[in-house]
Amino acid sequence: MRIFFALSFLFSAYTKFVAPGFFEITLMDQGIASSRVWAAHLTRFFIGLEFGLGLLLLFPIYTKKITGLALLLLSGFTVHLLYLWGIGDTENCGCFGEMISMTPAESILKNSILISIGILLYLKAPKRKKGFLFLGTVFLVVILSQWFLLPIPKHSEMSFSDYTHFENEGRVDLSKGEKWIVVINLACEHCQQAAIEIGSLQRELGTSFPEIYALYYKEGDFSVEDFEALTKAKFPYHMIDVNAFFDLIGESPPRLYKLMDGKVSEFWDHGLGDALK
């Protein structure tokens, strides 16, 4: 039971570690973090906390102390999940990142099982009077290491040098001259509306319209062809994965970047059409 309990925390931390951007957006959507910056710091704190709990639980030295802390964390998460469930939220709660999608109700059931196991471990584990300094040091090191392992990206310093080939155009050198990059989730209604606006402006301005390229993230079955048919907009595009997508957007998609010789000079999350005029 102890090993299973430990692995559950390690797995939970790992699913957030491989895609921190998704958990950041989830924290904002759920009202836990007021901005992307705060969400990024909280994400790294929770990842480090879960990694620390899992690692220490693997070694049966301070099981009672660590289990008590784990129970407090699980109880706090469960209270929040109950609130989400009460208001009718059925989206992925982010407990296992994007790797395993769980609704608040499903996650409450999962936490209930873990809490039951944790209570049994707490009652059975021997009590050790010392160890707070050691435990505190381990947690501090593991938690602080997340800021080094997962540096928080600065959107004003985003590098687009890896994107050199775009469908509908071929090779593109984003490091030269003025280029515009729009980051879009194909299934996002706000992104679709922005594309309609940009496409209309593109047809209106013709050759005077700036060079614009799209970074598309595909979620679900909604394809590029579906997106282009719906929005009547067609951009040179490059497909990106979920990690790149959440790193490149702000609090919610879409986002528009203006590049000058490969460096971000400005970016917008709203009024994309006005920015291009």
State whether 95 and 64 are in the same domain: yes
Residue 122 sits at φ, ψ, to 5 deg, of -65, -40
State whether 140 and 210 are in the same domain: no
Provide the domain limits for residue 252.
157-276
11 touches 21 (CB < 8 A): no
- The domain boundary, picked from 94, 120, 149, lies at 149
- The domain boundary, picked from 149, 184, 217, lies at 149
C-alpha–C-alpha distance, residues 71 and 65, integer Å: 10
- Partners of residue 170 on adjacent β-strands: 166
Q: What is the pTM of this model?
A: 0.70
State whether 173 and 113 are in the same domain: no
For residue 72, what is the DSSP state? Answer: H
* Confidence (pLDDT) at 50: 96
State whether 125 and 197 are in the same domain: no
Number of domains in the chain: 2
State whether 130 and 19 are in the same domain: yes
C-alpha–C-alpha distance, residues 138 and 135, integer Å: 5
* Confidence (pLDDT) at 158: 64
* Confidence (pLDDT) at 97: 81
Running along the chain, 277 residues long, what does each successive block of 10 average in pLDDT?
Answer: 94 91 81 83 95 92 90 94 89 84 91 95 85 87 94 71 82 80 92 89 80 90 90 91 87 88 84 71
State whether 12 and 136 are in the same domain: yes
- The domain boundary, picked from 133, 149, 165, lies at 149
